[in-house]
Structure 1
């Protein structure tokens, strides 16, 4: 992506003068060169790209579309800190000084631009050469010395925690799978298969994150010329129905798809099934119920997402337990679902931060006999509101 520079740098009287060219910027800002940050060229797995004075990789944001403005503030700027300068930015070897410029952020600070694009760090890059921010959300890219964006994909294979233990996951955190019908270092999954099981692709040598054995990482060429990542000779894939990190919906599909452990072996045991929370119609209206139709309750003495109901209390109010990520039925907000660890180590389902329970006195689906018991037990609706 190319844009004209926001500022033109010229030398005047020992100072670098940034002649601002953006809309409404007729004035010129004279900045002390001695206070400027140096933009350099650094070597990374993606090739030579722009880096900051600390050697860490710099990125551009494709949503920065208005000349002279950054679209990255608040939480975005925490994750993607802007490259700030107090003076005219300095071009290191290989950097084109004519492409350097600055913009003024809403807090009055000056952010460095290159070829008109504001420059940022990625908070998860820890050392020079890291490029963990590449392709994040499809809108963040490293910058070539000529001012163009470098859109190459780099696959980072990581270890993720799941109900099956630690398994390989992709750069997006989603679970990776191996196909038992593949040959060593050769994929047999194409067309409709590849639509359901997208291969993990890379344009450059894949990176092994913590816990991944770099010696087991490799690549194989697919028939369309793209490069697929392998691990211990097994091509790696996503499952189209996995939506969030920790999902294992592809495990055991047709008896040939399995997750991969960091040691390079597949895990073939079935994935635990998460408890399902649904909506049920009762005399109290539409409320949360379990998959068996039994009413679910919340305890007003619970706090901070933790259960205060044990022993005799738990005998009367059995917690809704799960062995895996809880599932949302129709009408249930999956973002409100979660788990809390009980004292015995078991996982209890929570909704909107409140642990869920059954009432021993409910005998059939639709019963709400636990409502308002002792003035502290109530049902909850799909919005996460306590129904009193």
Structure 2
């Protein structure tokens, strides 16, 4: 058993920081990271790539090799936790890999794929060609075409503002079932709405029932016509987990204990969007890179403690802020309490845009530097919630 590798499934924020922290804990162990993509990409900046801006990416194989971590680009087709093995599809064919311990950091997928007519959606995902989408948006803008952005949370607001600023002739509408940016204070929301209207983004309210090639049918019967439909309406855990037989929440996320170990399994941990990690008061963490990095780092450290016969520490995390961009040169920085509730302190304009850029840079360089240097560079807030904050 000791000759078998320690597996990490997923090569994004959580998986990479898990690999870095696990390597620091167990310098001589064999670690194998499996991902279906060959590059680490900045998912939080895909809206910029859609607008035609260059977004950096890093090849996973040489990045992981600096830390002595093996990499296999493959699609996971089956997972048998009881037998401690996964089946993967590589370019050379199927392969079964047995493991000693595993960290699941498979991330999330778009909820839009569950809607009737989902084949008509544009989505911010690995398998959609953003460069080709950018070229088509240029053509749409040249003839005054219409783009409907579905979902008015952080991603939707960022996409609508970025694309409206970049493609001046494009008619951009932003659709949501509730008011935009509900997790922000009133003044910050008003700032965002002013900015969106300044960019001539039309704000719409409604919930999508089904999709057509050139329209979205709403639950109230309205039909919203558009040349292209862009889904920004939320994420769900990787559907592979549904077939694993592991304990899941109703949202499809892996149930975990205080140290992020999967319930009922002493050798499995879950991190990032596929983990039902909570704050110390039991509040479920939202899907984001802000929680993926801390949970990935903790899972790597916890597995390292387990391998060395030590009791892993409970996962401790607290929210501090939220940030988003509103095109180039504007944004919002929102202070929150430890439970992610908006406080009255916020910033807008270029200062907030600069903070957002700095945070995007941090989540890009932190896992890469830790793998290269073998040192813990990224530190997350670990405030313990008291009774007054609950």
TM over 0.5: same fold? no
Which protein has the bigger helix share? Answer: 2
Tell which has more relative contact order, 1 or 2 (C-alpha 8 A, sep 6+). Answer: 2
Normalising by structure 1, what TM-score? 0.22
Which protein has the bigger strand share? Answer: 1
- Find the structure with the greater CA-based Rg: 1
Normalising by structure 2, what TM-score? 0.22
